[in-house]
A and B are shown apart, each in its own frame.
Chain A
Amino acid sequence: MSKTHVTTKVNGDTVEFLADPRASLLDCLRDNLGLTGTKEGCGTGDCGACSVTLDGTLVCSCLVLGVEAEGREIGTIEGMAEDKELHPLQRKFIEHAALQCGFCTPGFLVAAKALLDQNQNPTEEEVRYWLAGNLCRCTGYDKIIRAVMDAAAELRGEAA
């Protein structure tokens, strides 16, 4: 099987890798680039654990081929904190104990950030619908929703 040379941008950095044309972007991120923050839950686009942004649009990286990343810009969980400063969403997930096993957390954070980047004042209903494609089998979701609402409030400059 001949591999395809792919040049793409991940979290602002230009990277290159050799992709099996059948390999998903998720596999390429994890296996070729060592970015293992993005998780594989179902591999069929149902659970959202592999959420990344592709040219700013939230997608499941298991439903994108690695070769499709050529010339695009990808955002992953590794690009969320700035140096050692956690993103407010990351901090609020910790404060609200919005995770237990943590496997779904990178996907939830990337998805929630994509929402807050375009809507800093979502209703609880909007948050719940936006995150309907992210499954968590531990928390029961309420803590996650509260953490996102609280992070949104902080980003708007409102005291918690």
Chain B
Amino acid sequence: MHYHSPSTFEDAARLAASTTGVTRFLAGGTDVLVQMRAGMVLPDDLIDLKGIPGVADIQQTEDGGWRIGVAVPGIQLGAHAALVADWPGVVEGMELVGSTQVQGRATLTGNLCNGSPAADSVPGLVAAGATVEITGQDGTRTASVEDIPAGPGKTTLAQGELISAILLPPRGQNGGDAYLRFIPRTEMDIAVVGCAVSLTLDGDTVTAARVALGAVAPTVVLVPEAAEAIIGTTLDDAALEALAKAASAACNPIDDKRGTVAFRTDVAGVLAGRAAKIAYTRAKGA
């Protein structure tokens, strides 16, 4: 295996494009190193991105959004008060990933690129309307977070392309987001169902919303029907019921040891309602 430590994303993209064997990018390493050890993935070329300037930075952009470097670990997100104030749901999703030790390494970008349908940080990013900056040999492009996962362990990134930053939009006034997951214990487990809701209020009325579900389909999914169920409402009981119904209807889960199809489908609706209520309370400034 060749270990590379390029100093620009362009060099990393060129390296990845020129390799013929198995290539992996290394940020936090909490998935890649486990896969290497298990023999699931034996890279011929491992491209460490942590030598690229800016990858460990969280920056506010000119429009009031956020640019999060690809090597920013969970622990750094949680310690950033202004980011937590804007996007508490995004941060709480990431903070549910693994232990304190894993939080010291694991990144949003890695969680996204690992392609797990149960990735805890991805629904929050999708609900927030986050995008990613992708660097390839011919320059950069941006894509919505929901367009990156292609199925378990797969992404839509081409060979020679890599994510060079996560971009969160400006939160704006009267907005709030939240992420909840169901696991059979209190810590250190993989989501059976995850749900993130982001919404904006005008007075008591929801004027914009995005709802994303995890672990109930081959990828994390954005559910526009669930958002439509609460837009224009004050999140009254009828709206919450419609939201739960729409969230459950969007589920296409697997049966496995962690949860049955029926259970996951039902819990998706329950979590959507609860997450929406938390997001609503946060949007109210409470």
Contacts and interface: CB of A to CB of B under 8 A. Distances in A.
A64 B50 CA distance: 12
A129 B103 CA distance: 12
A48 interface: yes
Given A4-B3, A45-B34, A133-B188, A63 B75 contact: no
Give the secondary structure class of A's interface: mixed
B99 A132 contact: yes
A57 B75 contact: yes
A65 B3 contact: yes
Interface in A26-78: 43-46, 48, 51, 54, 57-60, 62-65, 67-68
A45 B102 contact: yes
Contact of B34 (A44, A64, A65, A115): A44
B105 A132 contact: no
Count class of interface residues, chain A = 20 to 34
B237 interface: no
Given A21-B46, A133-B98, A63 B34 contact: yes
Interface string B25-64: 0101110011011100000001010100000000000000
Contacts of A46: 188
Contacts of A67: 3, 48
Contact of B33 (A51, A63, A114, A133): A63
Contacts of B2: 21
Contacts of A149: none
B15 to A, nearest CB: 15
A59 B99 contact: no
B269 interface: no
A132 B100 contact: yes
Among B2, B26, B100, the one with the most A-chain Cβ atoms within 10 Å of its Cβ is: B100
Contact of A133 (B38, B75, B101): B101
B1 interface: yes
A48 B75 contact: no
A43 B37 CA distance: 8
A51 B104 CA distance: 11
Interface of A: 1, 4, 21-22, 24, 43-46, 48, 51, 54, 57-60, 62-65, 67-68, 111, 114-115, 129-134
Given A22-B36, A45-B98, 16 more contacts: A4-B3, A21-B1, A21-B46, A22-B1, A43-B37, A45-B99, A45-B101, A51-B101, A54-B104, A58-B104, A63-B30, A65-B3, A65-B48, A67-B48, A111-B100, A132-B99
